């Protein structure tokens, strides 16, 4: 037991010394890897029906694993007594998805649910087709196009919504005594995300 305790203290001391460098790494690494995963998100449905590019799909999986590893490293560093505070800690908490205000969690849930629900309003046939035909339905071109549209909707929603989610998180830290303001801003976050999606679509369809 004593040997295990000494070993644990040595590992914590090593992590404590490396913590500033790890925090700097994850500060840039998590957003970068997340951006790659978001850009390559279409490779996931295309892998299901056999149209993905192997290198791009491998990059997508690698970026997701990188985010997971960096997230675990970040949480380990934030659990140390020497973890930073103030503005820096608030930013790191957002990346670690730790100590979030409930309104921020609700907003994230909305960003994950609403794009798919909005697309499926006009495409309930997709759910019925998948239920009836199972994996065989993925051979249909219409099903493949529908899955691609849903994935693009998530790409646009997350691209426009995550910066607003970060702003909501920081505001919830700066105004801790105001219990209702973060909740009042959640609907505005969804409206802002919708506006951002429209702007992104216009930019993507603007001739270069």
pLDDT of residue 208: 55
pLDDT confidence tier of residue 12, bands split at 50, 70 and 90: low
pLDDT of residue 9: 53
Q: Are 38 and 159 in contact (CB under 8 A)?
A: yes
Q: Are 23 and 74 in contact (CB under 8 A)?
A: yes
Coil/strand/helix, residue 201: helix
For the chain, give the mean pLDDT. Answer: 89
pLDDT tens-digit map of 54-105 = 999 999 999 999 999 999 999 999 998 888 999 999 999 999 999 999 999 9
Q: What is the mean pLDDT of residues 34-59?
A: 94
pLDDT of residue 176: 66
Coil/strand/helix, residue 158: helix
Q: What angle do CA 147, 58, 75 make, to 5 degrees?
A: 95
pLDDT of residue 178: 73
pLDDT tens-digit map of 115-164 = 988 888 877 788 788 888 888 888 888 888 899 999 999 999 999 999 99
pLDDT confidence tier of residue 3, bands split at 50, 70 and 90: very low
Q: Are 32 and 9 in contact (CB under 8 A)?
A: no
């Amino acid at each position: 037991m004593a040997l295990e305790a000494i070993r644990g203290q040595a590992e914590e001391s090593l992590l404590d010394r490396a913590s500033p460098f790890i925090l700097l790494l994850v500060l840039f690494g998590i957003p970068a890897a997340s951006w790659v995963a978001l850009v390559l998100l279409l490779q996931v449905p295309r892998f299901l029906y056999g149209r993905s590019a192997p290198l791009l799909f491998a990059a997508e999986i690698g970026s997701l694993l990188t985010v997971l590893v960096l997230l675990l490293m970040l949480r380990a560093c934030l659990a140390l007594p020497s973890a930073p505070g103030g503005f820096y800690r608030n930013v790191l908490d957002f990346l670690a998805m730790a100590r979030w205000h409930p309104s921020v969690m609700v907003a994230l849930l909305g960003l994950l649910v609403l794009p798919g629900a909005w697309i499926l309003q006009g495409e309930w046939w997709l759910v019925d087709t998948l239920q009836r035909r199972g994996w065989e339905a993925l051979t249909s071109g219409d099903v493949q196009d529908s899955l691609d549209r849903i994935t693009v909707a998530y790409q646009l929603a997350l691209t426009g919504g995550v910066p607003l989610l970060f702003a909501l998180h920081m505001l919830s830290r700066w105004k801790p005594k105001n219990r209702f303001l973060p909740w009042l801003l959640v609907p505005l976050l969804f409206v802002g995300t919708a506006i951002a999606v429209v702007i992104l679509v216009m930019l993507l369809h603007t001739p270069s």
